[in-house]
Structure 1
Amino acid sequence: MALDNENLANLDLDGLRGEIDDIDQALQSLIIRRTKVVQAVGAYKDRVIAAGGKVKVPYRPAREARIMRTLVDRHDGAFPKTALIQIWREMIAAGTRLEAPYTIALCRNAEGQDCWELARLNFGCLNEIVEFETPREAYGALEEGRAAVGVFPKPEFGEPMPWWTLLTEHSAVRVVSKLPFGGRPVGRGEQTEGFVLAAIDLEDSGDDRTLFVVSLSKEISMDTARKKIADGLNGSAILGFSDEIAADRRFVLVDVPGFFCNRADAFQATLAEQGLNPESLRVVGAYAVPISEDALS
């Protein structure tokens, strides 16, 4: 039985270490119990598949976001919230691997930067990470099923052939998460940000942002596009743009607050009202808003 602070103060070092040992054993017993429940979930899904039904893939970023937010909200004491999140990250990743092992695809941006540390922190120590030389190769691995998820560097303005232009209406791959979600790695990769791509259904986590790509005429300057998009879509941000060499058009990646995966027509109408007259607009993903640094402190 856990002791209160007053009783702990009366214990010597051996007594305190014994208390820690008891707690460790209780924690491990709960992990064993949790794992059995995870295995039961996997067995249930196997029965559904055997009966001809379909089940969602094990990776559920919106559900994970809700779990992490709950952990942070109810946490108390001196144990760091970032470390608490990492414990659960490892448990979730290990449990997901019991259902179906999966591979993570990585690629580098034009400056040679990748998101290896973010991928390892988010997807645990057991899942395989495969690095590709180009975003197109990593994206191809996702489309062909050679990788279940991909972690791509945060877009940079004006970069050649940005990865987000690969997200077409003909592909099931989309942005499903933003990293880091709950705490940054220390040291190498500390300033790195990235997005997770996967061919899974998008889910509302309760606090999300939606990404869409809009095609505009090159005659519209980026300054004009920024102003009109900001005026029409409150709280929006432009994350990147790419000029199509063979045509007189520019693709712009826009990030808007809220979960609006079925609102492409409404977004296009709003931008048309602002005088942008987009040639096309497609939603390319949504992600749970990461936990703020203030909430983790």
Structure 2
Amino acid sequence: MRRQIDEIDNAIHDQLMRRTELARQIALAKGTNAVIMRPGREARVLRRLVGRHQGLFPKPVVCRIWREIISVFTRLQGPFAAAAFAPEHGTDLSLLARDHFGSLTPITGYGSEMGVLRAVSDGKANIGILPLPESDRGTPWWPKLARSGRASPKIIARLPFAPLDGGRRSGPEAVVISLAEPEESGGDRGYLIVELDEAVSRGALKTLLSDAGFAVRNTQAWVDAPDRTLHLVEVEGFLASDDARVAALVEEVPQVSHAWAVGSFAVPLTPEDLAAQPVAAIMAGAGAGAGAGAESSGAS
């Protein structure tokens, strides 16, 4: 059995080397200015693997192995670095970034959220890891996304996607920002920032957005100036930068002065997705297989 394990290890290693060569060829085909991050495809890969997985090997560890593989191959296609919010007092998100983006990805910690935003906007980092947008954290960082242009970062992912605790969310959570556009994964949520010229209740805002075709999950507000209130809205479904509903909001809803689609993310795997198959069921299946084999052997 140990010899068989050695043979399996060699086969795994051979396939890794083959995958590396394919990644090199993809990088050459893309060229120098190609987008090297594919957050939507990465999410689809992990969902597919989790969906087909069987046996005792933990699903979160499968995802962790593939995240390491994906991150290495991303770096093979071009320079790739991260900036993470790492305050002196508080939750250091660089550890969460390391879990998702791999052991070899350069990660620089910043003591302020604005430092992370600047690093991404200035091109010092391909991605930034910031705390989940929360209205009770003092001055929020997300209003800085309320602008247009290529130098304006977008939210492209949410972490952790496949937590090692099996999806119980016992650790910190974050979002990933980038100058790259978010990519649809087939199971997504989006973020929208809406600027209003007058005070509107949360319920009234939800009604306005629902009438405009958005399925609202939650909202939070920030009074940016006496005559300017920004609302961050999380919605169901993928939200592209050029979503026609966003432009229609400004044109058709008098209370809305500006609106921005500020990103989308693949919905993380749930505890149900990552649940282990019961050992009893696995052993029962193995026993049934052994019995069937013995019966077949006897018949032959």
Structure-2 separation of matches of 1:136 and 1:160: 13
1:294 Cα deviation from its structure 2 partner:
0.5
**Displacement of 1:271:** 8.8
Q: What is the CA–CA distance in structure 2 between the aligned matches of 1:234 and 1:99, rounded to whole Å?
A: 36
**Secondary structure of 1:169's aligned partner:** coil
Aligned to 2:63: 85
Cα distance in structure 2, aligned partners of 1:278 and 1:180: 33
Residues 108, 134 of structure 1: 8 Å contact kept? yes
In structure 1, how many angstroms separate the alpha carbons of the residues matched to 2:47 and 2:13? 23
The equivalent of 1:248 in structure 2 is 227
1:225 aligned onto 2:210:
no
Q: Please say if residues 264 and 281 of structure 1, whose CA atoms lie closer than 8 Å, have aligned partners that are also in contact.
A: no
Aligned counterpart, 1:156: 134
Calculate percent identity across the aligned residue pairs.
31
Partner-residue secondary structure (3-state), 2:191: strand
Q: Which residue in 1 is equivalent to 2:162?
A: 182
> What is the match of residue 213 of structure 1?
193
TM-score with structure 2 setting the length? 0.81
Could you tell me how far 1:177 is from its partner in structure 2? 0.7
- Alignment partners' CA distance in 1, 2:211 and 2:86: 34
Q: Match for residue 136 of structure 1?
A: 114
Within 1, Cα distance between the matches of 2:250 and 2:212? Answer: 6
SS at match of 2:256: coil
Q: 1:225 touches 1:276 (CA, 8 Å); kept in 2?
A: no
Equivalent pair of 2:88/2:111 in contact (CA under 8 Å): no
| CA displacement 1:172-226 (0-9 Å, x = unmatched) | 421111111122469xx94211111111123221221121100124522345435
In the superposition, relative to structure 1, how do residues 263 and 145 fare at CA in structure 2: closer, same or farther (>3 Å)?
A: closer
Alignment of 1:65-84 (within 5 A): 65-84=43-62
1:272 Cα deviation (Å)? 8.6
Counterpart residue number, 1:125: 103
1:137 aligned partner, one-letter code: G
Conservation of the 8 A alpha-carbon contact between 1:268 and 1:278? no
C-alpha distance in structure 1 between counterparts of 2:114 and 2:221, whole Å? 17
Q: Distance in 2 between matches of 1:238 and 1:292?
A: 19
Is the Cα–Cα contact under 8 Å of residues 210 and 285 in structure 1 kept in the other structure?
A: yes
Structure 1 CA distance, aligned partners of 2:144 and 2:249?
24
Q: Which runs of 5+ in 2 are unaligned?
A: 276-300
- Opposite residue 211 of structure 1, the aligned amino acid is Y
Q: 1:255–1:87: structure 2 CA closer, same or farther, 3 Å change rule? A: same
Q: TM-score, normalised by structure 1?
A: 0.81
Q: Cα deviation per residue 1:264-288 (whole Å; 9 max; x = unaligned)? A: 5524646997x77212111001111
> Map of 1:1-297 to 2, 5 A cutoff?
16-45=1-30, 48-49=31-32, 54-56=33-35, 58-108=36-86, 112-167=90-145, 168-170=147-149, 171-184=151-164, 190-217=170-197, 219-222=199-202, 224-226=204-206, 229=209, 235-245=215-225, 247-262=226-241, 264-267=243-246, 269=248, 277-297=255-275
Q: SS of 2:9's equivalent?
A: helix
CA contact (8 A) 2:241 2:263 kept: no
Bigger mean CA deviation after superposition, 212-221 or 256-265:
256-265
The answer to whether the 8 Å contact 1:62/1:204 transfers is yes
Query: In the aligned structure 1, how far is the partner of 2:250 from the partner of 2:210?
Result: 10
Aligned 8 A contact 2:222 2:229 in 1: yes
The alignment's C-alpha RMSD in Å is 2.6
Which letter maps to 1:38?
A
CA drift of 1:240 comes to 3.2
Give the residue type in structure 2 aligned to 1:152: L
Structure 1 segments of 4 or more deviating over 6 A?
none
Q: C-alpha distance in 1, partners of 2:199/2:230? A: 12
Superposition deviation, residue 263 in structure 1: 5.7
Alpha-carbon distance between aligned partners in 2 of 1:276 and 1:156, rounded to the nearest angstrom = 27
Equivalent position SS for 2:37 = coil
Q: Which blocks of at least 5 consecutive residues in structure 1 are unaligned?
A: 1-15
Taking the aligned partners of 2:245 and 2:215, their CA distance within structure 1 comes to 16
